[in-house]
Copies of this chain bind each other. A is one copy, B any other.
Amino acid sequence: MSVPRISTALTGPLPHLERQFLNATATIEHWLRRQWQDRESPFYCSVDLRNSGFKIAPVDTNLFPGGFNNLNPDFHPLCVQAAMTALEKICPEAHGAVLVPENHTRNQFYLQNVATLQRILRHAGMTVRIGSLLPDVTEPREVALPDGGHLKLEPLRRRGNRLVVGDFDPCVVLLNNDLSAGIPEILRGVEQALLPPLHAGWAVRRKSNHFDAYREVAEDFAQVIGIDPWLVNPYFERCGRIDFHARKGEECLETYVGEILEDVRGKYREHGIDAEPFVIVKADAGTYGMGIMTVKDPSEVRGLNRKQRNKMAVVKEGLEVHEVIVQEGVYTFETMNDAVAEPVVYMIDHYVVGGFYRVHTERGKDQNLNAPGMQFAPLAFAAPCSSPDPDDPECPPNRFYAYGVVARLALLAAAIELERTEGADDTAGVESIATAAPGG
């Protein structure tokens, strides 16, 4: 594999917060075990984190992770083992699975991700075929992969209430398509288990629901290990009726930007942090880093120019943005060869199975790194974030333990969020699709 490996992007002694996590390992793991007793974990999840040294927080929780190809191949068995556990719980009788990918047939990295996922599921003992939603995939098509392998795309079809691929009728349908364009009719009312469920897709899902649940999880967690919850939780507010083109709802943005900057300034004072607060304004639904801006003063969201408004108004699949969240920005203090780096942690079931750094050579430490056209250099973690060593807190793998913990807090929040929004795919989903203007 061509993925470069690094032990850590960090140098110097472990920051105070990471050391607190390491010292509380037994308490943290015990608490997490209890949380999962009566909750169902999403099948998989990736979490974008920011580590500013004094604070580690999730900034994005993805329920359709698309970078399994970036994980350290040494930890493939960890993915397989976690997938085995997930399948046993969710669907012990499962034998065959269909994987429904995004429609990006030209993105070689993404296709490599699909191939990696297929391999993980195969090694967990499933027969796996790829069911494409692409209208022009009308018969099986072999796609060449950068690593020399091939991926076979086949048309996903409906037979009664079941999804099939050719004559293959799977027990499980694994979605790796975030449904940004809405829930396709073919996926509705399906008899088979759909993992994750339809309401996990961006047609229904809202970041604000996620961060609402995350706030509660962070507060419980912080109490258990005796820290200020703010150290793992970014402030946020939601503006629900924005129209960037018509310049409607700017007051809401301006008010919340001001409030959050003020609150963060207070926390910086309280914790003796010498830095300038900033906030991130982004769409409440959707992914791929579109429609995101960094703001350091409320006046910046008043009177956006045409270019800024166009940038904010539309996300993936041409969806128009009317709901926005204003979230405290978290500096990233990690760099890699002078480029800013942010950790991404991958989980299958409720197990951390690896991660990588997203590195951007042309962005600042207060900017979103998941940006279109980015210079993207994934650096696989050398450790899978599951092995703290309380006896040796300076050893490199430990640095990843804190990432694994915060990522699992976000996963827990996603589980709660999905419980609360269950059944929403038949109502909010339709409404959301109705307001969307599909484009590219």
Contacts and interface: CB of A to CB of B under 8 A. Distances in A.
A115 to B, nearest CB: 10
Contacts of A96: 26
A77 B78 contact: yes
Contacts of A243: none
B387 A76 contact: yes
Given A88-B33, A92-B37, A123 B387 contact: yes
A81 B351 contact: yes
A78 B84 CA distance: 13
Most B-side CB within 10 Å, residue of A93, A122, A149: A122
Interface of A: 25-30, 32-34, 36-37, 74-78, 80-82, 84-85, 87-88, 92-96, 119, 122-127, 149, 351, 383-384, 386-391
A45 to B, nearest CB: 16
A25 B127 CA distance: 9
B119 A389 contact: yes
A125 B25 contact: yes
Contacts of A30: 93-95, 125
Contacts of A80: 386-387
Nearest to A79: B387
14 contacts: A26-B125, A29-B124, A30-B94, A30-B95, A30-B125, A32-B125, A33-B88, A34-B92, A37-B92, A77-B386, A77-B387, A122-B389, A122-B390, A123-B389
Nearest to A34: B92
A81 B125 contact: no
Contacts of A37: 88, 92
The 6 A-B pairs of least Cβ separation, nearest first, read: A29-B125, A77-B384, A26-B127, A123-B387, A30-B95, A77-B386
A92 B31 CA distance: 10
A124 B34 CA distance: 14
B33 A87 contact: yes
Nearest to A351: B81
A399 to B, nearest CB: 15
Most B-side CB within 10 Å, residue of A25, A27, A77: A77
Contacts of A123: 25, 386-389
B78 A81 contact: yes
Contacts of A387: 76-77, 80, 123
